[in-house]
Amino acid sequence: MSQNLSQTFLAITRNSTDLEWLQGALAPLGQVVSAGAGSLDELLALVDVTFASLVFVGLDREHVVAQSALIEGALEAKPMLAIVALGDGMDNQLVLNAMRAGARDFVAYGSRSSEVAGLVRRLSKRLPPVASNTLLGGLTVMFGTQANADGALLSTHLALVVQKSGQQTLLLDLGLPRGDSLALLGLESSFHFGDALRHLRRLDATLIDSAFTSADAGLRILAYASNDEPLERTSAAELYMLLSALRQHFQHIVVNLTGQPDSEALRTFVSHCDKLLWYTDQSVLDCRRNLDVLNLWREKGMKLDHARLLVDRYLRSVSPDAETLGKSFGLDVIATLAFSPEVRLNAKNQGVTLFELAPREALTQGLRTLGERLAKRSEGPEKAKVTWLNRLRGSK
């Protein structure tokens, strides 16, 4: 889904520890997405939306019959799929069952990363080229460890700017505290994030038009409800299918994830977005918490080339300055946003956007500039060609 990853692999493993081992081994090659507990329908749906050509399936003695049937069913539906079995390398019966079911190879749990990566490289050379859906909309994620209303305030305004640029935009507000984007705009909603997950197979233009909350300029908002399951309990497979469905209907999605604890679900968003805005301020405590997560992800091999630092409530007279923060995080600073406490408070209390309340304020101007930058990045080549063609016609 994101251009910063070369491949996507699917995996059905015994537990999260096995999944993390596989993710670490294949981090240089791409992203490993959990395909859940072993449902054939869910696996095939994920193959369709991820364009994955290689799937890892864990085998064990207690469930080997069902697991072998899963491999056979997947290959019957997708003959070009390559399946690698995982299991106890000392159990010859498992190896034999895997080969009979049609697995291309067998990898023992705990194998060295270099061995697993080498196998995948060899298999990839014999597989058909990986397809991609160039029609998917842009995806921008804003994440920081701080849980406060400013995350919703900023992401809402960025989404509004992208919407007003002419791109149909969705604000997916999963930041903490929950639902602040709706409250900031004085809106209510009867359809939330949990509802979208429950209606994945019905998520079409009709449902979006009738159920998703609409804000200024036609911006759509999908937010947390107070009774929705925490993000960390949402499977990566569900998120992947939801994002794929939404990106077919929206030209750009802005996701607010500020305040969310580290989880597999959070990492799914981070790994598959086009632009990651890492949100922090100048306080040592917030920077330390953000750096703890950032360094952990780097240690696990997550690709963060698409990450940029967004410094909020910035005071030029206070240390550390933007340049120092950028060096500390090892990230380019995409923007610094003015503190403007009075304007922020008035916008939150009055339910009015900064564009209406204080259009000339430095904070407002900074958000507009950053939003326009995000919008420009998600303009596809098709739009550029149309513009060029129109200019050509106009010159005749």
Q: What are the pLDDT digits (tens) for 215-248?
A: 988 999 999 999 999 999 998 888 989 998 999 9
pLDDT of residue 272: 87
pLDDT of residue 247: 92
Q: Can 7-126 and 138-378 be said to share one CATH topology?
A: yes
How many other CB atoms are found less than 10 A from the CB of residue 172?
Answer: 27
pTM, entire model: 0.87
Question: In the predicted model, is pLDDT for residue 6 greater than 80?
Answer: no
**Cβ atoms 242, 200 nearer than 8 A:** yes
How many other CB atoms are found less than 10 A from the CB of residue 384?
Answer: 10
202 burial type by CB count under 10 A (0-12 exposed, 13-18 middle, 19+ buried) = exposed
**Cβ atoms 184, 351 nearer than 8 A:** yes
pLDDT of residue 387: 39
Give the pLDDT mean for 364-390. Answer: 70
Question: In the predicted model, is pLDDT for residue 333 greater than 60?
Answer: yes
Please state, for a pLDDT cut of 90, what percent of the chain lies above it.
79
Straight-line distance from the first to the last Cα atom of the chain, in angstroms, rounded to the nearest whole number: 40
Give the pLDDT mean for 375-382. Answer: 64
**Cβ atoms 344, 363 nearer than 8 A:** yes
Provide the edge-to-edge strand list for the sheet that holds 30-34. 30-34, 7-12, 54-58, 82-87, 105-108
Residue 130: alpha-carbon gap to chain centroid: 20
Give the pLDDT mean for 104-120. Answer: 95
**What rounded mean pLDDT belongs to the chain?**
91
Question: In the predicted model, is pLDDT for residue 335 greater than 50?
Answer: yes
Q: What are the pLDDT digits (tens) for 246-283?
A: 999 999 999 999 999 999 899 999 988 999 999 999 99
Where is pLDDT greater, at 179 or 137?
179
Read off the tokens for 302: 């997550």
Please confirm whether the linkage preceding 320 is cis (ω < 30° from 0).
yes
Residue type, 387: T
Question: In the predicted model, is pLDDT for residue 378 greater than 70?
Answer: no
Written as one string, the DSSP assignment of 86-120 is: EE-TT-HHHHHHHHHHT-SEEEETT--HHHHHHHH
With respect to CATH, is domain 7-126 assigned 3.30.70.940?
no
Question: In the predicted model, is pLDDT for residue 36 greater than 90?
Answer: no
Range from 54-63, 131-140, 291-300 carrying the lowest mean pLDDT: 131-140
- Where b means 16+ CB within 10 Å and e means fewer, 87-113 reads beeebeebbebbeebbbbebbbeeeee
With respect to CATH, is domain 138-378 assigned 3.30.70.360?
no
Question: In the predicted model, is pLDDT for residue 179 greater than 60?
Answer: yes
**Cβ atoms 367, 277 nearer than 8 A:** no
Please confirm whether the linkage preceding 381 is cis (ω < 30° from 0).
no
Question: In the predicted model, is pLDDT for residue 119 greater than 70?
Answer: yes
In degrees and rounded to multiples of 5, residue 171 shows phi and psi of: -100, 115
Give the pLDDT mean for 336-365. Answer: 97
Residue 190: alpha-carbon gap to chain centroid: 24
Give the pLDDT mean for 65-77. Answer: 96
**Cβ atoms 251, 137 nearer than 8 A:** yes
Q: How would residue 134 be classed by pLDDT, with cut points 50, 70 and 90?
A: low
Give the pLDDT mean for 313-318. Answer: 97
Written as one string, the DSSP assignment of 114-137 is: HHHHHHHHHHHHHSPPPP--TTPP
pLDDT of residue 381: 42
Question: In the predicted model, is pLDDT for residue 301 greater than 90?
Answer: no
For β-strands 220-223 and 138-143, DSSP reports them as unpaired
Residue type, 306: H
pLDDT of residue 4: 41
Query: In the chain, where are the structural domains located?
Result: 7-126, 138-378
Closest CA to 246 of 306, 168, 175, 191: 168
Which residues fall within 8 angstroms of residue 374, CB to CB, at 6 or more apart? 138, 140, 158, 161, 162, 252, 254, 275
Q: How would residue 126 be classed by pLDDT, with cut points 50, 70 and 90?
A: confident
Q: How would residue 31 be classed by pLDDT, with cut points 50, 70 and 90?
A: confident
CA angle 369, 372, 378 (to 5 degrees): 145
